[in-house]
Structure 1
Amino acid sequence: MKNILVPTDFSDQAENALKVAGQLARKYNCEIYLLHILEIPLQEIDALSSYSNLPEAVYFMKLAHKQFEELKTNDYLTGLTIHETVQFHEIFKGVFHICKKHDIDLVIMGSNGVSGLKEMLIGSNTEKVVRTSETPVLVVKNEHKTFKVNDFVFASDFKDESKATYKKAIDLANMLQAKMHLLMVNTPNKFMTSARSEDRMKKFVEAFNFSNYTINIYNDISIEKGIMNFSQSIKADLIGMSTHGRQGISHFFNGSISEDLVNHAKRPVITFKI
């Protein structure tokens, strides 16, 4: 891991993510890319002019760079290589472009979660990035004075399509020197016997040269609750899972377990795009 992206709106939640990025960057000799998105209403933009000609854009860009300079004076970033960018894209488009341009290995974002009608209608910026990012996204809810991962839950249905994301999870576990706890959640609507579940999981892991894991089958009323309750039972430090990145009407009807976890889990969550 060489490059970490931290999108920021300069909130406390975003700073929690930056503090984690600082710890990882220092430990693994990474560079940090800070991204701030300016959302200028499209109706204010003349198609023949540039953003730099807009007084509002110039003002907010200068303000963002001033806030970047203040951020970089914090002790937890001392001595690290920090790059800063201000863009006018939507958040998920900005993240996509920066990840491609700078070969980003990990996106770290802060979130305080949303719920109810707000969640249904507009979601959160973090949710949008989780849904669309090709790069793994680590979502941090709280301040971590020491970000240490000893126990890492990887939840999956352990079908072949998840093998590529499992490989990414293994690489992360090896880097963090964490123990993986492979988890399949059984629900009343999608029930599978323990014997069949265990057989599927064992066949899934056969292709990988990795042994620092446990196999776990957990019964609960929903996959989301099962993941959170199991993680609580072992006091996991990190929850990981794959995301299909559904969009549009498919996303509305099917929902997304990874996005639900991002909103509701108290523990850090990392998602890997299938």
Structure 2
Amino acid sequence: MKHILMLTDFSDNSWNAIRYALSMFKNIECTFYLLTINLLPSYTGAKTSVRANQEKLRKSILEQSEADLQYLLKRIEKSLPNSKHKFVTNVVYGSFVGTVKKMVSNYKIELIVMGTKGASGLKKIIVGSNTAAVLSKVDCPLLAVPENATYKKPREITFVTDFKVAFNHKMLDTLKEVTTLNNTSLSILNVLEKGKNLDDEQTSNKRFLNDSLNDLEHSFYTLSKAEVDEAVQCFVESRAIDMIVMVTKDRSFLQKILIKPTVKNISYHIETPFLVLHE
């Protein structure tokens, strides 16, 4: 049984991410934890009447969120019924990252699913502050699904890496699982500055990765470009890549590709999901 955390704010964007994840794991027995987090300002030292009103507001918001989650469950059961899938609803009043960390620990979460607005909606800022915080502070794989992504059986997944990461089995198990889920081919992309070559550490890590993936169909590709996001753009578009995988330690890659890309027309962010792994 796989344990997956799906965050929702009841927007069309978060619904699309939920629908994508349910379709992606349609043949796998899963428990999905539907989580909505309510944030309210605290009034330290406020008068009793203010605290009472705040508590009443808090209770009202939590009740509405619970009702919204139950409606979401009915929508899932109607749109994507699946006897292999179980659901647990969670309505929380607290900090965003702290709540996600607690959920991951308490329920042994193996994957977090969140929706992203896409480049057109956020003017080159692909993920919002909450998603960026989860990426950097929560030790759990995260699937970021753009608002215009539609699930279809993946033909090819691309793992973008600079080979500076010491690949571990937990990380690679997630990569293998996603790749084998639909018998998908895996392309491993490295972007090098012109005139540069892999150093000894990178070469060793590449060799280890190749050996670890020997039971999967995979290929290595190297592009020489000044800008990482431009190279990924070209690769993804030329091969019609269905998903991009990265590792959090590749900070420069994450920053250039997922957080604040410099390429003007970053179309792959509109439709291509990102799976971010942790070292």
TM-score (norm 2): 0.80
Equivalent position of 1:66 in the other structure: 67
TM-aligned CA distance change 1:37 to 1:245, over 3 Å: farther
User: What secondary structure is seen at the aligned counterpart in 2 of 1:149?
Assistant: coil
Structure 1 distance, partners of 2:45, 2:241, is 48
Equivalent position of 2:92 in the other structure: 87
1:63 Cα offset (Å): 0.8
Equivalent position of 2:231 in the other structure: 226
TM-aligned CA distance change 1:58 to 1:186, over 3 Å: same
User: What secondary structure is seen at the aligned counterpart in 1 of 2:259?
Assistant: helix
Equivalent position of 2:104 in the other structure: 99
1:243 Cα offset (Å): 0.5
Instruction: Find 1:176's aligned residue among 160, 177, 182.
Output: 182
1:78 maps to 2:84: no
Equivalent position of 1:192 in the other structure: 197
1:146 Cα offset (Å): 3.6
1:270 maps to 2:275: yes
Q: How many residues align?
A: 261
User: What secondary structure is seen at the aligned counterpart in 2 of 1:42?
Assistant: coil
Equivalent position of 2:129 in the other structure: 124
Structure 2 distance, partners of 1:45, 1:175, is 53
1:100 Cα offset (Å): 1.0
TM-aligned CA distance change 1:244 to 1:160, over 3 Å: closer
Structure 1 distance, partners of 2:231, 2:131, is 22
User: What secondary structure is seen at the aligned counterpart in 2 of 1:73?
Assistant: helix
Stretches of structure 2 lacking an aligned partner (at least 5 in a row): none
Instruction: Find 2:123's aligned residue among 109, 115, 125.
Output: 115
Q: Give yes or no for contact 2:244–2:273 (8 Å, CA) kept in 1.
A: yes
Please tell me the root mean square deviation across aligned C-alpha atoms, in Å. Answer: 3.4
User: What secondary structure is seen at the aligned counterpart in 2 of 1:26?
Assistant: coil
Q: Give yes or no for contact 1:154–1:182 (8 Å, CA) kept in 2.
A: yes
* Identity across matched positions, percent: 20
Equivalent position of 1:5 in the other structure: 5
Q: Give yes or no for contact 2:10–2:68 (8 Å, CA) kept in 1.
A: yes
Equivalent position of 2:255 in the other structure: 256
Q: Which amino acid aligns with 2:186?
A: M
Q: 1:26-65 CA deviation, whole Å, 9 max, x = no partner?
A: 321211111111101022687x9x9998111111111111
TM-aligned CA distance change 1:73 to 1:226, over 3 Å: same
TM-score (norm 1): 0.81
Q: Which amino acid aligns with 2:79?
A: Y
1:207 Cα offset (Å): 4.2
Structure 1 distance, partners of 2:180, 2:229, is 26
Q: Which amino acid aligns with 2:220?
A: I
TM-aligned CA distance change 1:3 to 1:24, over 3 Å: farther
